[in-house]
Structure 1
Amino acid sequence: MRSKESGAPTRTQRARHQDLITAAIQVITRDGYRAASVDRIAREAGTSKGTALYHFSSKEELYQAVVSALFETGATYMAERLLAADTATDKLRTYIETNLRFITLHPAHVGATQQILMNSDTVHAVQLDDAIAPLRRLLQSGQESGEFGEFDPEVTALSIRAIVDGAASYFLAHPELDHEHYIREAAALFLRAVQPASLTSKDAS
């Protein structure tokens, strides 16, 4: 956010900042990426284009704030629940379920972010390596503790992220979908995949 004062933004500035992010999400969701001008977003937020450009130097900067806000909110939502999980198995189940459930709780923000990332050459999401690394470490810790079997943590982490990232588009395109069933099945699929071979063989028999 661009401010003429030095130091941290005031409460009023933070509120206006959030108002503009919310308005951008609403306009993109309703009217589409191409129609979401700064002027239209400002009107949606009940302010002027000049005020919007006081807080954000360009539409791209505002769009980056929309994307960053989603990832920051998601990270907080995830962290609170992962901290409550004790074992590697519980943490993996929590990781998958909370990622997918977060999408169902914030459909407009997720959809607007997807439109921005698909259409903008200057706005970027969190780097894939940043998303994969903690998941890979979780899988490795489960292997080290003996909870998980032998598999490639990198490939498995990438597969889990593919399911999560793909669900964002699928959920939005299929609002009639039983999301809770999807979430439970996705978690169960990967929990079976990481089991030690001895447990998998026992289940099969």
Structure 2
Amino acid sequence: MRSRESAALSRTRRARREDLIAAAIQVISQDGYGAASLERIAREAGTSKGNALYHFSSKEELYQAVATTLFETGAAYMAERLRAAGTPAERLRTYLESNLRFITLNAAHVGATQRILQNSTTVQVIEVEDAAAPLRRLLQSGQDSGEFGAFDPEITALSIRAAIDMAAFLFLRHPDLDVEHYISETVALFLRAVQPAPAPSASASASAP
């Protein structure tokens, strides 16, 4: 009996935390970072500031949960799709598409997290180098198999991460942007960049001095 009650209580607490996270995203998206007091967020969630402090010890802890939830949800979204990809080229395509697609599907959460990171000195996120590490390994595996050409995996991985991070700003600031075209062009650009250089044609070799 107690275990069922405990499980029900845990589910209720988790739901309340999720409500507060969603409310923080909504308030920051609508009114901006400066207007997002804990009292305002609690009101948006249909609860009191005291109840909000029961679930989060401070506004900064709530903001940390907003950022952490975004990265964890994004990682799970990508992992599910990457498992179905086979070759390095397929994995790179899936990596790009799933990242960019996740941004479009979670624009408000991405925007709220960006504002938090721009203003908070305590919220911690994955560093760019850590985020790029799996991508760097993917690119290296493509080179090792001969499917990809010669390039610096570190620089290329960081360039891909920069393009994805910039997309988050572009999608939010340009609501009329054709995101499908943006995604397809970005994917095509980097898939071309990693391809091996074409072998010289017979005619070119014959005309060489």
TM-score, normalised with respect to structure 1:
0.92
Residue number in structure 1 paired with 2:132: 132
Where 2:92 maps in the other structure, the secondary structure is: helix
2:175 alignment counterpart: 175
Separation (CA, whole Å) in 1 of partners of 2:129 and 2:14: 30
Identical positions, percent: 71
Aligned counterparts of 1:73 and 1:163: Cα–Cα separation in 2: 20
Q: Unaligned regions of 5+ residues in structure 2, if any?
A: 1-5, 205-209
Shift of 1:126: 1.4
Q: Which has the larger radius of gyration?
A: 2
Question: 1:158 Cα deviation (Å)?
Answer: 0.2
Structure 1: gaps of 5 or more residues: 1-5
Paired residue for 1:74? 74
> How many residues align structurally?
197
Report deviation, 1:127.
1.7
Separation (CA, whole Å) in 1 of partners of 2:144 and 2:57: 49
In structure 2, the residue corresponding to 1:161 is in which secondary structure? helix
Secondary structure (helix, strand or coil) at the match of 1:10 reads: helix
Which residue in 1 is equivalent to 2:115? Answer: 115
In structure 2, distance between residues paired with 1:67 and 1:18: 13
Supply the RMSD in Å over aligned alpha carbons: 1.8
1:159 is aligned with what amino acid? S
Match of 1:193 in 2: 193
Q: Which amino acid aligns with 2:193?
A: A
Q: CA deviation at 1:178?
A: 0.7
CA–CA distance in structure 1, aligned partners of residues 109 and 25 of structure 2: 6
* Structure 1 Cα separation of the partners of residues 108 and 125 of structure 2: 17
Secondary structure in structure 2 of the residue aligned to 1:151 = coil
The 1-side partners of 2:116 and 2:184 are apart by 29
Q: How does 1:22-33 map to 2 (within 5 A)?
A: 22-33=22-33
Q: Which residue of 2 aligns with 1:3?
A: none
1:55 correspondence with 2:55: yes
Residue of structure 2 equivalent to 1:13: 13
User: Residue in 2 aligned with 1:96?
Assistant: 96
How far has the Cα of 1:196 moved from its partner? 0.6
Partner amino acid, structure 1, of 2:125: A
Q: Deviations over 1:79-98 (max 9, x none)?
A: 00000000000000110111
Q: 2:129 & 2:55 partners in 1: Cα distance? A: 30
Q: Give the Cα separation in 1 of the matches to 2:123 and 2:178.
A: 32
